[in-house]
């Protein structure tokens, strides 16, 4: 059940009405839990049992830590969660890699490749509970005493499948007392849902056609075709995930709950460090707090820490060497940035800043090739078309140019309207105009039903 499906809205709208009609806080939480399980089970109902198991296990582990705090308990709880992730997401990849290595060294052995089903959103909800267990251990938050509240925190449907990765200290307190209807929050929620849907349907799905075409057969591309295909993918990925996250925050706001925004015009970044402060913010913060800093952070072996953290971030995105290389590429670049003086190779003036922005944007785009290409050889082929002769040109479809330019320009004002209360403070005419523009994009381009990219992670 995708956020851009009618089925989802057929579930959400009655839920919203009943939610606000219910006078009892506990009943609202029960409703949220039931709808979350239905939402999750609609895609693959046996996965609900896995979800219920992790709820029960993590609730109990948290309570245990509260009464008898111990590093071993925390590590066991984190290890158990990561083992599930490892099994479901990485077992096949590890087995295939081991088999390849055995083949290379000439050993006639084969590790059986397990036929494992990947439960939806496992990467996201595993990270959420890992953070919870560590925070409880560090005494940053108390273990949640209510199983119902913990279950709602663990599987709150707007953010269950693809984030934002919500921290317990930010979300659980919101579930303690009855939520009062807040017109301003509801207003914002409406706009976030509309804007998110428009980003997904009207931008990401349109650009997806061009990006898919480019990556289907890179050898057939001209140099211009390869670059425009890459730009199309860069903006498709951004609009897709930004749209999804924005909708998630919007649905939560309609229910009176607050989730963090996950994007802040990342392609305007002036350095890669700046990029990661703006792109998938909740994941960046997670890796910073639970991997990078525990590894030593800036204090010692900074470059190694960055490489390790970003390599793991790559692996988190997908079980494949292209993802690992993508992460390592980012890690290496971040490490190099630390070695260079502030501003890098560019002067600290207007032109220098422009050149630095261009370099960061194109560097990020180039690394997206690894992220998008299904195999390493296809990625290399794509790099070849981007940067090696023969340098050839072809006509760029007008729709693609137009869409890229409009989206590139519109991302800033759109991002401004998503901030707290910014939309509601606009004049009514501006609100109607933006609302109609979003509805126009949704209406005209609905029907492609392309899956959200981050659902696969």
Partner 1 sequence: MKSSDHPEPPEQGRPAFAGRRLLFFTLGLAILLGGLELLVRRNIPLFEGASHRMLAKVAMFGEQRRVDFLFFGTSRTQDGISPPLVSRHLAELSPEFKGAAGFNAASTGSNYEDLMTVAPRYFQRPGLRAVIIELSVPHLSNQPSLSPAIATHSQTEEDRLTRAVNHVAFVRYRTAFLTDNLGRLPALLFFSSRLSGYETRGSEQIASFLGREEPAPAGFAATVWQPEIISPPNKPTPLEADLEAAAAKITVLAKAYTERKIRVVFSVPPLTARHQPAPERDRLRPLFAEVARRTGCEVWDFAAQPRPDEFFKDSSHLSRKVGRAHWSYALAHQLARETGKR
**From the list 420, 448, 451, 456, which residue makes contact with partner 1 (rule: CB under 8 A)?**
420
Total chain residues near partner 1 (CB under 8 A): 28
Phi–psi pair at 446, nearest 5 degrees? -65, 150
**445 near partner 1, judged by CB under 8 A:** yes
Residue (107 or 406) nearer to partner 1, CB: 406
CA–CA dist 391, 261 (Å, integer):
41
Residues 176-215 close enough to bind partner 1 by CB under 8 A: 182-184, 186-187, 190
CA–CA dist 180, 412 (Å, integer):
32
**3-state SS class at 172:** helix
317 flagged as catalytic = yes
Q: How distant, in Å, are the alpha carbons of 30, 176, 251, 313, 336 from that of 27?
A: 5, 13, 19, 38, 53
Q: Give least dist CB 165 to partner 1, A.
A: 26
Q: Give least dist CB 1 to partner 1, A.
A: 9
**277 near partner 1, judged by CB under 8 A:** no
**From the list 13, 220, 380, 399, which residue makes contact with partner 1 (rule: CB under 8 A)?**
399
**440 near partner 1, judged by CB under 8 A:** yes
- The residue annotated as part of the active site, out of 317, 330, 362, 421, is 317
**17 near partner 1, judged by CB under 8 A:** no
Residue (291 or 446) nearer to partner 1, CB: 446
Q: Is the dihedral of CA 116, 121, 122, 124 positive or negative?
A: positive
CB of 221 closer than 8 Å to CB of 257: no
**455 near partner 1, judged by CB under 8 A:** no
Radius of gyration of the chain (CA): 23
Binding part of the chain for partner 1, among 144-152, 208-216, 381-389, 439-447 by CB under 8 A, reads: 439-447
**3-state SS class at 450:** coil
Residue by residue, what is the 3-state secondary structure of 202-253? HHHHHHHHHHHHHHHCHHHCCHHHHHHHHHHHHHHHHHHHHHHHHHHHHHHH
Residues annotated as catalytic (active site), given as ranges: 317
Q: Which residues lie near partner 1 (CB under 8 A)?
A: 5-7, 10, 182-184, 186-187, 190, 399, 402, 420-422, 424-425, 428, 431-432, 435-436, 439-440, 443-446
């Amino acid at each position: 059940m995708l956020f851009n499906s009618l089925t989802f809205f057929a579930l959400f709208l009655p839920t919203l009405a009943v939610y606000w009609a219910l006078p009892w806080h506990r009943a609202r939480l029960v409703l949220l839990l039931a709808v979350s399980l239905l939402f999750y089970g609609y895609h693959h109902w046996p996965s609900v049992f896995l979800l219920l198991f992790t709820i029960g296990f993590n609730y109990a582990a948290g309570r245990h830590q509260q009464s008898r705090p111990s590093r071993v308990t925390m590590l066991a709880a984190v290890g158990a969660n990561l083992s599930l992730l490892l099994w479901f997401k990485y077992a096949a990849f590890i087995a295939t890699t081991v088999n390849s290595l055995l083949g290379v060294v000439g050993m006639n052995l084969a590790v059986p490749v397990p036929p494992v089903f990947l439960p939806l959103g496992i990467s996201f909800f595993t990270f959420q509970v890992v953070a919870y267990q560590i925070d409880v251990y560090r005494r940053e938050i108390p273990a949640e005493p209510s199983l119902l509240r913990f279950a709602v925190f663990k599987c709150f449907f707007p953010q269950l499948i693809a984030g934002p990765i919500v921290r317990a200290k930010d979300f659980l307190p919101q579930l303690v007392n009855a939520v009062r209807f807040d017109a301003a929050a509801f207003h914002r929620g409406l706009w976030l849902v509309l804007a998110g849907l428009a980003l997904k349907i009207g931008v990401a799905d349109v650009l997806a056609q061009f990006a898919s075409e480019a990556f289907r057969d890179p050898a057939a591309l001209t140099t211009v075709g390869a670059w425009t295909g890459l730009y199309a993918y860069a903006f498709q990925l951004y609009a897709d995930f930004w749209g999804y996250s924005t909708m998630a925050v919007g649905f939560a706001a309609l229910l009176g709950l607050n989730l963090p925004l996950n994007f802040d015009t990342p392609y305007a970044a002036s350095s890669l460090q700046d990029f990661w402060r703006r792109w998938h913010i909740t994941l960046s913060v997670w890796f910073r707090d639970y991997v990078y800093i525990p590894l030593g952070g800036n204090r010692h072996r900074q470059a190694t820490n960055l490489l390790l953290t970003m390599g793991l971030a790559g692996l988190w995105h997908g079980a494949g060497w292209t993802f690992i290389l993508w992460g390592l590429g980012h890690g290496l670049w971040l490490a190099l940035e630390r070695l260079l003086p502030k501003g890098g190779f560019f002067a600290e003036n207007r032109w220098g800043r422009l050149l630095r922005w261009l370099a960061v944007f194109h560097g990020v785009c180039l690394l997206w090739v690894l992220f998008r290409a299904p195999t390493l050889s296809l990625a290399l082929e794509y790099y070849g078309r981007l940067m090696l002769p023969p340098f050839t040109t072809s006509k760029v479809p007008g729709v693609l140019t137009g869409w890229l330019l409009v989206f590139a320009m519109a991302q800033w004002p759109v991002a401004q309207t998503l901030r707290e209360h910014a939309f509601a403070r606009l004049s009514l005419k501006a609100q109607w105009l933006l609302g109609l523009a979003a509805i126009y994009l949704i209406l005209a381009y609905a029907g492609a039903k392309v899956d959200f990219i981050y659902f696969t992670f």
